Chain A
């Protein structure tokens, strides 16, 4: 018979005695006995109620040693509660499992998980679907590069633009806000469906959503810097974005949004950096560019790993592009006001020669976007000619 002794002095259950009791009882086997000494007058009453609830047996104190108020015989409830417990993988990415069970739910990766409890259905629960080896590193980078929209941009920089140039900026900003709102909603929706076992992916998507929240803020702020009124939002543009929201598959949503959509946006943001008519616009598109580059990097890394593991995966990607193309075949695509505004920004003024230059610049932008998409598809393992065909099927709305 294993026996231990605990002197609680004058500490009762109203001052934490249960902690000291638990600690001592944990050192005993089931059936082991603990002698409890204490001067708290309510101890025996409380100990009886506590032992009952915890499943321990209480025996009267020792007549020979008046200081021992009671004996606690360790019951098996504590042992039984944890008998079927398991580790939820390991805390580091090396401890990831291929498919975490639903009942691990929100438990920290690596925690000792009590058996039972509610099964929480996270539908992205396969490592092959959501995981990228690059995710932990990209998350850390993303956190380190967060910027404060108030401090990172000198909003008070004095500048004046001709009214039509300012209007072009406002139209482009209106378009960017709309697109960034789609880019916020999509990772936010996805992340709520990822099993928390894939913590770094969940965190990366959360930061991605936060990035887009900041983009929405700075573009809105620039749009209203000189006036109240925003530009237009076309039905075709919104239809294009809705097809992104409708994609239920994790990899395909990530493919359409990050690799193709945000990939094209990298070209657009570079274009705006080059032709920005004022320092505030130039600064915010540069800030957004560095964030979007990270989103594209994660999307590509994740899909590259999947394509390597499953050669048939490229067929699935192709299907997603074709489906989206078909869904958008009868829509206008990009808002004509946006294309015009981009032309005016690249022209810088309204002389015919300048407008012609601007027009050529926007055509070059679209060619660069097409080339960018083609290159990224080649990185995912598509043959060059097929990559070129698929790149051309991308929405005219850029995103």
Chain B
């Protein structure tokens, strides 16, 4: 399995899961990647059987596989990967109350490849007819928004007046509100996207069937009541692994097409994107 080393905690998480999976009869090992692009290329090429993918990496894996005459599917996902929303936030006293008011204003986003803090909210605004400038806060390019730094920088820029609006996922808005990065009453949610899904464990059809089946069965069988795996689940941010589904990626596919991030064959076409 491939996983992207977006944070040091990835090592204890997958080392812990690896021990548990081995003990439960699955021959399992993992490889760490510095970015999602190489991970999905290796997945489709069969160098790894499974990839712990961001939603954007899922979109690319699906396209690359289709172009190569293969197929991929989401084996499992975290319970916390379902039905996320992103929001566009403005200062409470800004006078921006509709999408029309964004005209000529600057919208702050996360990194160029962040589905939740850039691609999805910008697509949502554009489909709704809004016209605006974009200022990206590029932290952790290649990590598909796993690094929260860009969103936090955008939120700070919103408060300081550098940008008129900032994009972020609902969980980051909750975090920034609770920790005081966004002081109570200082900001207002202008608009939210539709619900979408986040990461999934992508498997490629060339992978051997039985270990993949067992992998899915063991992951979904992990119990939050098990004191050995609970700290790992806490670190990875889930309480249960659930079945993978493809229904939550339609908006991101559309955003990728509209913004020209990847072409239909999965080639990187985003301007200036160097993971």
Contacts and interface: CB of A to CB of B under 8 A. Distances in A.
B170 A46 contact: yes
Contacts of B87: 45
A65 interface: no
A42 interface: yes
B171 interface: yes
B184 A15 contact: yes
A81 B226 CA distance: 8
Contacts of B224: 55, 76-77, 80-81
B227 A80 contact: no
Nearest to A84: B227
A77 B241 CA distance: 12
A116 B79 CA distance: 22
Interface in B218-241: 223-225, 227-228, 230-231, 237, 239-240
Contacts of B225: 80-81, 83-84
Interface in B67-108: 79-80, 82-85, 87
B189 interface: yes
A80 B239 CA distance: 10
Contact of B239 (A46, A55, A114): A55
Contact of A14 (B178, B188, B223, B239): B178
A50 to B, nearest CB: 6
Which of A50, A52, A54, A77 has most chain B Cβ within 10 Å? A52
Interface in A6-64: 12-15, 18, 41-42, 45-46, 48-50, 52-55
Interface in A46-104: 46, 48-50, 52-55, 75-77, 80-81, 83-84
Contacts of A116: 227-228, 230-231
Contacts of B192: 45
Given A12-B184, A55-B224, A81-B224, A49 B231 contact: no
B93 to A, nearest CB: 14
A116 B83 CA distance: 31
A117 interface: yes
B189 A45 contact: yes
B178 A13 contact: yes
A14 B230 contact: no
A115 interface: yes
B182 interface: yes
Nearest to B81: A52
Contact of A46 (B79, B173, B183, B223): B173
A153 B126 CA distance: 81
A19 B195 CA distance: 26
B127 interface: no
B174 interface: yes
A86 to B, nearest CB: 11
B80 A14 contact: no
B177 interface: yes
A80 B184 CA distance: 33
Nearest to A48: B170
A117 B228 CA distance: 8
Contacts of B174: 13, 45-46, 49-50
A83 B189 CA distance: 39
A54 B84 CA distance: 14
B227 A41 contact: no
Nearest to A18: B178
Q: Which bracket fits the contact residues of A?
A: 20 to 34
Interface string A192-222: 0000000000000000000000000000000
Contacts of A53: 80, 171, 237
B83 A46 contact: no
Nearest to B195: A48
A114 B79 CA distance: 22
Interface string B115-150: 000000000000000000000000000000000000
A192 B175 CA distance: 38
A159 B178 CA distance: 66
Given A42-B189, A46-B177, A49-B173, A81 B240 contact: no
Given A45-B87, A80-B224, A55 B189 contact: no
Contacts of B170: 45-46, 48-49
B67 to A, nearest CB: 34
A46 to B, nearest CB: 5
A44 to B, nearest CB: 9
Given A12-B177, A116-B231, A52 B85 contact: no
A14 B184 contact: yes
A48 B240 contact: no
B97 to A, nearest CB: 12
B239 A75 contact: yes
Contacts of B182: 14
A19 to B, nearest CB: 11
Given A12-B177, A18-B178, A48-B83, 10 more contacts: A42-B173, A42-B189, A45-B173, A45-B192, A49-B84, A52-B82, A53-B237, A80-B230, A80-B239, A117-B231
Q: Lowest 10 A-B CB distances belong to which pairs?
A: A116-B227, A55-B239, A115-B227, A80-B225, A14-B177, A77-B239, A49-B171, A80-B224, A49-B170, A14-B184
Interface of A: 12-15, 18, 41-42, 45-46, 48-50, 52-55, 75-77, 80-81, 83-84, 114-117
23 contacts: A13-B174, A14-B180, A41-B188, A42-B173, A45-B170, A46-B173, A48-B85, A49-B170, A49-B171, A49-B173, A50-B174, A52-B79, A53-B171, A53-B237, A75-B239, A77-B239, A80-B223, A80-B225, A80-B230, A83-B225, A114-B227, A116-B227, A117-B231
